[in-house]
Amino acid sequence: MRKESSIHGQWSSRLVFILAATGSAVGLGNIWRFPYIVGEHGGGAFVLVYLACILLIGLPIMMAEILIGRRGRQSPINTMATLARDEGLSRSWSLLGWLGVVAGFLILSYYSVIAGWALSYVFRAGAGSFSGQDADGVRAMFEGLVSDPERLLAWHTIFMVMTMMVVARGVRSGLEQAVRILMPALLIMLVLLVGYAMAEGHFMDGFRFMFRPDFSRLSGNSVLVAMGQAFFTLSLGMGAIMIYGSYLSSRASIARTSATVVGADTAVAILAGLAIFPIVFASGLEPGQGPGLIFITLPMAFGQMPGGVLFGTVFFVLLLVAAWTSSISIMEPAVAYLVENRGMHRVGAAAAVAGVAWLLGIGTVLSFNHWSGYTLFDRTFFDLVDYLTSNILLPLGGLLIALFAGWRMTERSVMEELGIRRPLLFRTWYYLVRFVAPIGILLVFLRAINLI
Ligand code: PFF
């Protein structure tokens, strides 16, 4: 009953899958979000909880998501429906696919706005606009950008079109070509930047901030945020990794591949922190200032450091590339669904998905200016969408994936698809997916709403 390939195509090798999945995982989450939430939640202790979530919850769920995707070989909605049918389960499991599609639209909508900031900063950095600016100068530049809805909308539109163009070209000529070129470029830029931070920044201050745990700064909510970040950064819980798994050859080892992707993503987050905090401390600035961290602090630092125009530009190109390879994966599940179920051509499907996400993104654009005064639970539209997706929808999607693979699919099916030959390894994974991940997610949820 196992399908050998998806109607949308297949990666030409396991390495391409690794590039694509790492491209999905490594994004704004690693370079923009991770450093600023570590800053907000006090550093080392938060990093430890985050790493525990990655290893005990993220890695096993990534394997589960890939195995489900590869067994179903369709968009997450249809994959879930097909597997549920094959296993004799209720068709309502396809709701898990729908949950992912909703989360995907929401994430894509604001992701593109923030990626638009990165795009605009590539040009600013390249033009040398940061040279010699003081803190007030760069802050004014950032605020000038986010307070101007038209400019935000223009960059958001360009980025959404960039994403759409890759997705419209399909798996082989779009996604695969993009990651083949962009991922090696990303690696080179990152290595350059960490070298630069080591040479020019206060490396040990940054290092200490990230690795010295101070548990007094950790609240129940910090733990939820750390877990949400683990899901967000690994692209889990919404079907992106599932659909990438559906394009993976049946012969590739899911365990080894997942471990590589998780390792690469974690390494990039840590390296990004080690590139950013030393520069922040070298300029005598504060790490806890939220989403503006890399758009205010870093440009100022770059503006005062030798080689700052070049390295500043490299930094924002890196951020842009990382965001691009991720947004492609956020768009893919909904596009695949429209092609499968509505008989649409890929180009039309990509345009439709991009259009809806673009419209939703206007909410985020306005939340930084005209709507900044409208809040719910003290959060703007952007904060709400970000909080709801990362901290609730993605962990919920992950929980359902773990329950499906751990409790509803037969052990024979999961074993066959995973193809792990070492019994101890399989048992460990199965235990993590059945018990540790679901219980962990539930406990973190309960703790966050102060029930325990
Ligand atoms: N993992 C991406 C990042 O860290 O920026 C964001 C992301 C991509 C989230 C794909 C969810 C997703 F399905």
Sign of CA dihedral 135, 225, 397, 418: positive
Q: How far from chain centre, in Å, is Cα 449?
A: 24
Task: Give the model's confidence band at 451: pLDDT under 50 very low, under 70 low, under 90 confident, else very high.
Answer: low
User: What's the total number of domains in the chain?
Assistant: 1
Would 6 be classed as within a structural domain?
A: no
pTM of this structure: 0.95
Would 7 be classed as within a structural domain?
A: no
| Predicted pLDDT at 452 | 64
Reported as a single tens digit per residue, the pLDDT across 188-201 is 998 888 888 788 77
Would 5 be classed as within a structural domain?
A: no
Q: How far apart are CA 385 and CA 181, in angstroms?
A: 31
Would 386 be classed as within a structural domain?
A: yes
* CATH code assigned at 386: 1.10.4160
Task: Give the model's confidence band at 88: pLDDT under 50 very low, under 70 low, under 90 confident, else very high.
Answer: very high
Q: Residue 233 C-alpha to ligand 1 middle, in angstroms? A: 5
The three-state DSSP-derived secondary structure of the chain is: CCCCCECCECCCCHHHHHHHHHHHHCCHHHHHHHHHHHHHCCCHHHHHHHHHHHHHHHHHHHHHHHHHHHHHCCCHHHHHHHHHHHCCCCHHHHHHHHHHHHHHHHHHHHHHHHHHHHHHHHHHHHCCCCCCCCHHHHHHHHHHHHCCHHHHHHHHHHHHHHHHHHHHCHHHHHHHHHHHHHHHHHHHHHHHHHHHHHHHCCHHHHHHHHHCCCHHHCCHHHHHHHHHHHHHHCCCCCCHHHHHHHCCCCCCCHHHHHHHHHHHHHHHHHHHHHHHHHHHHHCCCCCCCHHHHHHHHHHHHHHHCCCHHHHHHHHHHHHHHHHHHHHHHHHHHHHHHHHHHHCCCHHHHHHHHHHHHHHHHHHHHHHCCCCCCCCECCECHHHHHHHHHHHHHHHHHHHHHHHHHHHHCCHHHHHHHHCCCCHHHHHHHHHHHHHHHHHHHHHHHHHHCCCC
Q: Which pair of tokens denotes residue 87?
A: 């296993």
Q: Of all atoms in ligand 1, which is nearest to the CA of residue 329?
A: 10
Would 2 be classed as within a structural domain?
A: no
Among candidate residues 50, 55, 20, the one with its CA nearest the CA of residue 37: 50
Q: Which of 110, 186, 326 to mutate to test the pocket of ligand 1 (most atoms within 8 A of CB)?
A: 326
Instruction: Decide whether any atom of ligand 1 lies within 6 Å of the 27 Cβ.
Output: yes
Task: Give the model's confidence band at 404: pLDDT under 50 very low, under 70 low, under 90 confident, else very high.
Answer: very high
Q: What is the mean pLDDT of the chain?
A: 93
Task: Give the model's confidence band at 40: pLDDT under 50 very low, under 70 low, under 90 confident, else very high.
Answer: confident
State yes or no: pLDDT of 245 exceeds 90.
Answer: yes
Instruction: Decide whether any atom of ligand 1 lies within 6 Å of the 233 Cβ.
Output: yes
| Predicted pLDDT at 72 | 96
Would 381 be classed as within a structural domain?
A: yes
Q: Which of 229, 235, 265 to mutate to test the pocket of ligand 1 (most atoms within 8 A of CB)?
A: 235
Q: How far apart are CA 200 and CA 203, in angstroms?
A: 8
Q: Residue 317 C-alpha to ligand 1 middle, in angstroms? A: 18
Top-confidence residue, 1 or 446: 446
Would 406 be classed as within a structural domain?
A: yes
Would 36 be classed as within a structural domain?
A: yes
Instruction: Decide whether any atom of ligand 1 lies within 6 Å of the 116 Cβ.
Output: no
* Structural domain of 417: 14-448
Q: Residue 132 C-alpha to ligand 1 middle, in angstroms? A: 35
| Predicted pLDDT at 300 | 85
Top-confidence residue, 5 or 329: 329
Unique residue bearing structure tokens 């605009």:
120
Reported as a single tens digit per residue, the pLDDT across 366-401 is 999 999 999 998 899 999 999 999 999 999 999 999
Q: Of all atoms in ligand 1, which is nearest to the CA of residue 240?
A: 13
